[in-house]
Structure 1
Amino acid sequence: MVFVCAVIVVAFRSKISPGIAGLIIVYALQVFDSLTWVIKQLSQLETSSVSLERICEYIRVSK
């Protein structure tokens, strides 16, 4: 995503000011970081859900 933004900035360098180009790349990096955080949180949620399912299954087995 950052690479695509950088390529677009280079392709339109005559129409985009350097300040705007910098903002585009910085925002692309922030979006990438946010997506990484969301994926990490979803993975943690799935791991916790599996743990809860196992605990419930162990309770049923022991009865």
Structure 2
Amino acid sequence: MAGDQKAKGKMEEAKGKAKEAAGRAVGNERMTAEGRAEQAKGDARQAKEKAKDAFKH
């Protein structure tokens, strides 16, 4: 299950980057901000899973 969460975090991060880039391209500040938020959520999920892995070993 931890691998699923890591993958989900990477997917959220990639989706956020794409959304941020699209927002910048069309000049939509809200979409850009949503993209940044999704990236942060993905980063947080990945960090949480890395911490879990560190305590397992």
TM-score w.r.t. the length of structure 1 is: 0.51
Number of residues paired by the alignment? Answer: 42
Give, in whole Å, the separation in 2 of the partners of 1:44 and 1:19.
Answer: 38
2:26 aligned partner: 15
List gaps (5 residues or longer) in structure 2. Answer: 1-12
2:54 aligned partner: 43
Greater percentage in helix: 2
User: In angstroms, what is the RMSD of aligned CA positions?
Assistant: 2.7
TM-score w.r.t. the length of structure 2 is: 0.56
Larger Rg: 1
Bigger relative contact order, structure 1 or 2 (CA pairs below 8 A, ≥6 apart): 2
Give, in whole Å, the separation in 2 of the partners of 1:34 and 1:20.
Answer: 21
Please report how far the alpha carbon of residue 14 of structure 1 lies from its aligned counterpart in structure 2 after TM superposition. Answer: 4.0
Please report how far the alpha carbon of residue 27 of structure 1 lies from its aligned counterpart in structure 2 after TM superposition. Answer: 0.6
